[in-house]
Amino acid sequence: MKNNIRIYRAIHNLTQEELARKISVTRKTVNSIEGGKYNPSIDVAYKMAKLFHVTIEELFCFEDEENNNDEEDVYLS
């Protein structure tokens, strides 16, 4: 799963450690999520989105969704 956490951290001038403290996880967890090595729980994703004032979809993008958008349009027609 791709994400924009690094971008939003930069916008909000937060280090991984500061973000981790604000959402009650470890810096290693933030690093793993940001690097795409770990998918966050819905609770952690929600906390991040709320902190950055964005939707979960703005922070995270399922790679399969990008590839299936054309297929979904066919079924909706």
At 5-49, the pLDDT tens digits run 999 999 999 999 999 999 999 999 999 999 999 999 999 999 999
- Structure confidence at residue 5 (pLDDT): 97
Domain boundaries, the chain: 2-76
Q: Is the pLDDT of residue 69 over 90?
A: no
Task: Name the CATH code of domain 2-76 (choices 1.10.260.40, 2.102.10.10, 3.30.2020.10, 3.20.20.60).
Answer: 1.10.260.40
**Which residue's structure tokens are 């930069």?**
10
Integer Cα distance of 6 and 11 in angstroms: 9
Give ∠ CA 24-9-1 in degrees, rounded to 5.
80
Q: Are 4 and 56 in contact (CB under 8 A)?
A: no
The pTM of this model reads 0.77
